[in-house]
Structure 1
Amino acid sequence: MTVRASAPPAAAAGRRAARRGRAGALVVALFLVGIGVAAATAAPHTEPTATTTTRTGMPSPTATDRPSTAPGADSSTALPAGQGRGALVALAALRVNDSPTRAGYQRDLFGYRAVDLDRNGCDTRNDILRRDLHDAVIKPGTHDCVVLSGMLADPYSGTTIAFTRGTRTSDDVQIDHVVALADAWSSGAAAWDPANRFRLGNDPLNLLAVSGPLNTQKSDGDAAQWLPPNVAYRCTYVARQVGVKYTYGLTVTTAERRAMAGVLAGCPDQPLPPGSTLPAPAAG
């Protein structure tokens, strides 16, 4: 492309964009050979914060009940809204375990829908529906809890789905554990106490309202086994998986890490989502 001499700002912008593209490719290449990655700055984003209580006599997890075994946990900080260090940095710090086992796994051990994170009397599914649906209609007499209908901008398909509560229609929209619970179990959660598993099972950081059929298709797959058909969402999806795994000190397989790095190659500045634990700042 020929740039006229009268438009130096455009030429400079083009050179900056080219440098960013080359830098992103270099970051991923370095990561894949284990040399290192660069930090990223997050775009502003907000997400509800929550406290927890128990509805069934189970231990009551709190914000500090997450495992303390995450890499760099002693020097990490909670993620303020609008700030972050990138998913590639956290991904590089995840420990690899290529011999995971699901022996002993039971979904109920994570207490999904058993704890009330924001003390509003609603179960986790309805809390996430209220967070993620547009134009939600709430059933009267349920203390503003039970969602009767709404519209979902489904991140996995990139389409809009109409949700209606009912025996034949509720499964059109399901709540996905972004890091599947079976995957969490085999990558570290099997060794946790119940409170930590209940926290992960109900943490909004790890939950999204999504297309029911696509959630079923994903099943217990990790990033090496399944990615959203909506390619435009894959960077955000993988960054959320990395954020969950880093925050909770979970491991990845070599194939999973390579798949995550491959996605993040297209977005090397992708931030971790708010609610994640952040890697410690680089020295200097």
Structure 2
Amino acid sequence: MPRRRRSRRLSLPAFLVIVLAVAVWVYLYGPEGTRSEAGDWWAPSAPSATSGAPDVVTSNPDLAALVVAGPGSTTPYDRDLFGAAWADVDGNGCDTRNDVLIRDLVDIAFRADSNGCIVRTGTLHDPYTGAVISFVRGPDTSEAVQIDHVVPLSYAWQHGASTWTDVQRTAFANDPANLSAVDGPANQSKSDSGPAEWMPPQGGYACTYVDRFAGVLLAYGLTVSPADYAAMTTVDAGCP
């Protein structure tokens, strides 16, 4: 009687061991996500049905293209409508807050167990006040550097975001083009104000601030209040 040939198919346990080994190798030795140098604006993702993040032009946007209108939502603003705070929308393994700290701070040191994601210390050259701020992560020190939404979430809600999908609002809340690491007290002072009520204390940053505010509004199809439009055009008239 001829011998039966032994099957060369892998058993399920053996297959799972191989898959696990490959996954571990990729995790330990695979390529890491890229980071831009501090001070470089990240280009947001192209528009898509899933991301909802359009391209944002933050240099010399056309203010005349802005749509001037008062608040349009009768539904109260709720932060939860913009998704979980600092979601990892780009899938690089780091949350958005740390992505922005990595972009905007210099002399960064990471927490040892964070795979290059969690910023432990660094230095911020604050665009809003001009101050140099030492960042040290901790319950009593982290708030010295905060992440500001240039166009506040509540402002966006009142000027068009109330009609968006949850995916689009989450993308907006985590779009690096609308985020800056800034001095904590300055961010608290700004709160949800538009340019008519608040401008960066460092006057030399006003032109950049207005460009960024307008660029985000235009990219996301948001309107601007008459008072904020007047303040922005006044600043823009004195810009190079």
TM-score band by shorter chain is: 0.7 to 0.9
Please, which of 224, 230, 236 is the counterpart of residue 258 of structure 1? Answer: 230
TM-score by length of 1: 0.65
Higher Cα radius of gyration: 2
Q: Residues 230 and 61 from structure 1, CA distance in 2 versus in 1: closer, same or farther, beyond 3 angstroms?
A: farther
Cα distance, 1:100 vs structure 2: 3.8
Please, which of 200, 210, 224 is the counterpart of residue 238 of structure 1? Answer: 210
CA distance in 1, matches of 2:104, 2:162: 30
Give the 5 Å matches for 1:150-169. 150-169=122-141
Residue of structure 1 equivalent to 2:93: 121
Cα distance, 1:117 vs structure 2: 3.7
Residue of structure 1 equivalent to 2:13: none
Give the 5 Å matches for 1:1-284. 46-49=40-43, 61-62=50-51, 65-66=52-53, 86-87=60-61, 89=62, 91-101=63-73, 103-111=75-83, 113-267=85-239, 269=240
Deviations 1:94-149 (A, max 9, x none): 11112444632111211254532432211110110011001011001111111111
CA distance in 1, matches of 2:64, 2:221: 13
Corresponding residue SS for 2:123: strand
Corresponding residue SS for 2:113: coil
Q: Residues 122 and 51 from structure 1, CA distance in 2 versus in 1: closer, same or farther, beyond 3 angstroms?
A: farther
- Number of aligned positions between the proteins: 200
Structure 1 unaligned spans of 5+: 1-44, 53-59, 68-77, 270-284
CA distance in 1, matches of 2:129, 2:86: 29
Say whether the 8 Å CA contact 2:56–2:216 is kept in structure 1: no
CA distance in 2, matches of 1:50, 1:207: 11
Q: Which has the higher contact order (CA 8 A, sep 6+)?
A: 1
Corresponding residue SS for 1:223: coil
Corresponding residue SS for 2:147: strand
CA distance in 1, matches of 2:125, 2:50: 30
Q: Residues 46 and 171 from structure 1, CA distance in 2 versus in 1: closer, same or farther, beyond 3 angstroms?
A: closer
CA distance in 2, matches of 1:94, 1:115: 29
Q: What amino acid is the match of 1:48?
A: W
Q: Residues 256 and 155 from structure 1, CA distance in 2 versus in 1: closer, same or farther, beyond 3 angstroms?
A: same
Deviations 1:171-210 (A, max 9, x none): 0000000000000000000010111101100000000000
> Matched residues, percent identical?
46
CA distance in 1, matches of 2:60, 2:177: 16
Q: Residues 125 and 245 from structure 1, CA distance in 2 versus in 1: closer, same or farther, beyond 3 angstroms?
A: same
Deviations 1:226-272 (A, max 9, x none): 000000001001100000000000000111100000111111x5xxx
CA distance in 1, matches of 2:151, 2:137: 25
CA distance in 2, matches of 1:156, 1:254: 24
Q: Residues 162 and 120 from structure 1, CA distance in 2 versus in 1: closer, same or farther, beyond 3 angstroms?
A: same
CA distance in 1, matches of 2:216, 2:50: 16
Structure 2 unaligned spans of 5+: 1-38
| C-alpha RMSD over aligned residues | 2.3
CA distance in 1, matches of 2:74, 2:146: 23
TM-score by length of 2: 0.77
CA distance in 1, matches of 2:235, 2:40: 23
